[in-house]
Structure 1
């Protein structure tokens, strides 16, 4: 039930509650003219301060058409202040936060600005020193935020907000602009939520005129025979505020970290995304493992704190591995990869395996293999429990290269070593091989960047095969989503589709060619009589018959890709070695399962 309204000449017993007839007219919850759009009102401006228009030579305010201008009045270091006239009641322990936008005009202006809260007692005398917020000193010519948070000390009854400045070096023309003052002030209980309780010893009558009700909790006022004390009611007040909304046009985004720009009713702050820890290696050669980020840094490999990639200096948590000492020939780490729970690491001359752990004391070197190096971090990819990497000889796997301790043993990339080495020599400045695993197709892709080599393996441990694709555009990035592979070239994104019969509207041919085969003793002439194909589509068949001239093949002979029904296709040809080339002209769907050659060994007739 609401308390009754005060009435004159009424007998009030001790403990009676009333609410004022009229508003107290003292408490204000908002700053006066905080954006200066009302002109030169609501502020007590100290020396050097004035209200300026956005159409003047002083520049634009942060928002609206008016702002606060400061021009240093004299060559001194005095603190200059501008005070908002909103004098609000507070109680001890009450917190107030305020902020404003300031632009110091450029780095040559050598003075600073801040906000401060001044607390007063019942006699308007200061209670302690003003509580000051952060200072903005000599930034570039952009808008910065100054703010302050204060807690009312014991004895404080009132609070006022000031902006203050102090010169550090006199400049005859220093200027600063301020705008958009705001605070979160709300008096505990709110002015219209205060009730007044009769606290005199005996019942007494109120006066003929309503007293000046004190707006401060616990303060008393005499009303004829009644003494009223301000008390707090228990209630919740909900305040509606407009939802933040962007402006009609995109703002001019500042590029300096910490700068602000207004966009409709939103203030955007420029935030730097870089890690400022001096121990962060700032490298693109990184690996996430054991809840840490590992980064190559010259002859060591640094790691971040556990589950905190912004911290590279935590004692007994962040640190580095001395990987350079394990590779005396070339000590700089170039490639990092995750291999079966451990970290694989390459320098130009060495491969290392490290056990990694959230606890740095549990990290240790497992193996070092000289002569197996790599310098291409983007050409490394995890593939079905293994890791494929690019060496100067070609594509190799950690499981085979590490087990054989060299790059010469039979490995997955040896069939295309010649192609890989040629593409490495053809790389232009700024180009770098890019590799990734496409699990939906069981393929390892290696882009150079227009020539793409693809290793396809239908099942783990099965026989794989290499394919080469000559693309009309360079592969610059890749992504996979819901089992589909996407490639990016410039601003164009392509989807890899096994059902597509052309490439970006351009028909392409499928070419399968065998190396030069002896089909028996080397140097002996062999007689080819006929051949059969097993597959689908229409194929052109050619036979190479002069190994010393790699381009000397028979004329193309078009046949169905499945020739088994009926007789073999006659092809009389004799040579010591031969190469078979099958061409499927686009656009068509095709498949080749087998090529059968019918030939004799003509011994004695080389």
Structure 2
């Protein structure tokens, strides 16, 4: 009798190698689960609906102890739930007095159809919002008109705060404009504002698509390249630090800073900009290559806007693409860098973290990711774990498997694939509950040269897989 034990799942999903030659800790599937800091695999937390908001608002942004939403209509909207605050965005229209020929701005109420960016600047919210077919920047410093009326304000979707300024891509994408230091409503050059000539310094595509922050510097991403700019309250101190070729993004809301590095979604999968510590050189890193085969079909069928956040509560980069959420669990202490994926019961319109809790908005419904919940608002979801085909370090040798033992919390249905040439060649499922060591092995009869263990859980209880032991007998070379 021979045995083999698998107790490390630290690499998560990794499809770079074929199923027949991949390592045991590189899973073929990890659906609705993630890698824990103990290198086990656990069922993801459930999504719990906490509110259905009053109709008419868009967005969800955590700031000043509240979850903020935005609207543009003339009628005031107030949320009954004190966790939320609805903010009115009032557009401006330039009017000219027929007698004095002087110009002023009149308030115009335009419905908010989307929110691209929101952050706190000097204690007030700065917002980039979509009003139908036009985008407008707003600064909620006082009642009345909130739109930034400076003619030099770019009023584009992408914006970011750094060096006591707001930076935003110009309408044609050839420059990145920035506001006056300490005053995001002033964008004229004579008032300490100006622009970065990003298009002039581009190696390929000149049109900027996204903005991010990397170690205190501003990162400007084109579709096929990136530029790192040192930014400063003093415009004369700004300069181009470095360019990174052949890595970029077309998805501005997919950017997130993770442990000092910048993660984002490119046209071909997830990538990052990081520093090689020994040589202090900026490099692009294809952190997403293990799941490129899963991500690219999602991008081809994309219907909505990919949205990402770094969730400090779990140390995970989360990116929602329609009804799929790709999850990158990162822990330098535990040496974890693992991909998994969540299937969502709804599309994500916005998400943000407040006081260590992740909130997601879909339509007027708001959910939270609740570690105590193991269903999606009462509905059970399926967890699937699938290991690659493994030959137990004896390739080409026929083996007879006759039993397994599992160390786990909860229950699952266990089966085993036994022919890598036919993925449908799988044993019948066996229901297993709890830790089976010491209680007699779980009988499972199957023969083959390589085997792929599979686990499936559909309950309203926690589930965590810690280890698998397979008992088998070598039968000789086939």
8 Å Cα contact 1:535/1:561 also seen in 2: yes
Task: Kindly indicate whether residue 301 of structure 2 is the aligned counterpart of residue 301 of structure 1.
Answer: no
**Structure 1 position 576, deviation (Å):** 3.5
- Report the equivalent of 2:427: 554
Separation in 1, partners of 2:417, 2:362: 37
**Structure 1 position 371, deviation (Å):** 0.8
**How has the CA–CA distance of structure 1 residues 339 and 501 changed in structure 2, closer, same or farther, with 3 Å as cutoff?**
same
Task: Kindly indicate whether residue 293 of structure 2 is the aligned counterpart of residue 451 of structure 1.
Answer: no
- Report the equivalent of 1:277: 150
Task: Trace 1:498-577 onto structure 2 (pairs within 5 A).
Answer: 498-520=371-393, 524-577=397-450
Root mean square deviation, CA, Å: 3.0
8 Å Cα contact 1:353/1:366 also seen in 2: yes
8 Å Cα contact 1:293/1:309 also seen in 2: yes
**How has the CA–CA distance of structure 1 residues 475 and 566 changed in structure 2, closer, same or farther, with 3 Å as cutoff?**
same
Larger gyration radius, structure 1 or structure 2? 1
**Structure 1 position 577, deviation (Å):** 3.1
Within the candidate set 189, 193, 197, 1:322 is matched to 197
Task: Trace 1:472-491 onto structure 2 (pairs within 5 A).
Answer: 472-491=345-364
**Structure 1 position 316, deviation (Å):** 7.2
Q: How many residues align?
A: 344
**How has the CA–CA distance of structure 1 residues 389 and 526 changed in structure 2, closer, same or farther, with 3 Å as cutoff?**
farther
Within the candidate set 461, 464, 468, 1:591 is matched to 464
Separation in 2, partners of 1:135, 1:590: 72
Separation in 2, partners of 1:280, 1:602: 75
Separation in 2, partners of 1:483, 1:434: 19
- Report the equivalent of 1:50: none
Separation in 2, partners of 1:319, 1:139: 24
Task: Kindly indicate whether residue 268 of structure 2 is the aligned counterpart of residue 397 of structure 1.
Answer: no
Separation in 2, partners of 1:137, 1:558: 76
Separation in 1, partners of 2:363, 2:425: 39
Larger RCO, structures 1/2 (Cα 8 Å, 6+ apart) = 2
Task: Kindly indicate whether residue 165 of structure 2 is the aligned counterpart of residue 292 of structure 1.
Answer: yes
- Report the equivalent of 2:244: 369
Task: Trace 1:184-195 onto structure 2 (pairs within 5 A).
Answer: none
8 Å Cα contact 1:304/1:311 also seen in 2: yes
**How has the CA–CA distance of structure 1 residues 561 and 286 changed in structure 2, closer, same or farther, with 3 Å as cutoff?**
same
8 Å Cα contact 1:316/1:360 also seen in 2: no
Task: Kindly indicate whether residue 211 of structure 2 is the aligned counterpart of residue 336 of structure 1.
Answer: yes
**Structure 1 position 582, deviation (Å):** 0.8
8 Å Cα contact 2:427/2:446 also seen in 1: no
Unaligned runs of 5+ in 1: 1-106, 113-133, 143-268
**How has the CA–CA distance of structure 1 residues 597 and 273 changed in structure 2, closer, same or farther, with 3 Å as cutoff?**
same
Task: Trace 1:194-205 onto structure 2 (pairs within 5 A).
Answer: none
8 Å Cα contact 1:537/1:561 also seen in 2: yes
Separation in 2, partners of 1:137, 1:355: 38
**How has the CA–CA distance of structure 1 residues 344 and 576 changed in structure 2, closer, same or farther, with 3 Å as cutoff?**
farther
Task: Trace 1:260-271 onto structure 2 (pairs within 5 A).
Answer: 271=144
8 Å Cα contact 1:449/1:476 also seen in 2: no
Q: Which moved more, 1:523-532 or 1:481-490?
A: 523-532
Per the normalisation by structure 2, the TM-score is: 0.66
8 Å Cα contact 1:434/1:449 also seen in 2: no
User: Secondary structure of the residue that 2:213 maps to in structure 1?
Assistant: strand
User: Secondary structure of the residue that 1:418 maps to in structure 2?
Assistant: helix
Per the normalisation by structure 1, the TM-score is: 0.52
Separation in 2, partners of 1:598, 1:404: 48
User: Secondary structure of the residue that 2:313 maps to in structure 1?
Assistant: coil
**How has the CA–CA distance of structure 1 residues 138 and 111 changed in structure 2, closer, same or farther, with 3 Å as cutoff?**
farther
Separation in 2, partners of 1:138, 1:564: 79
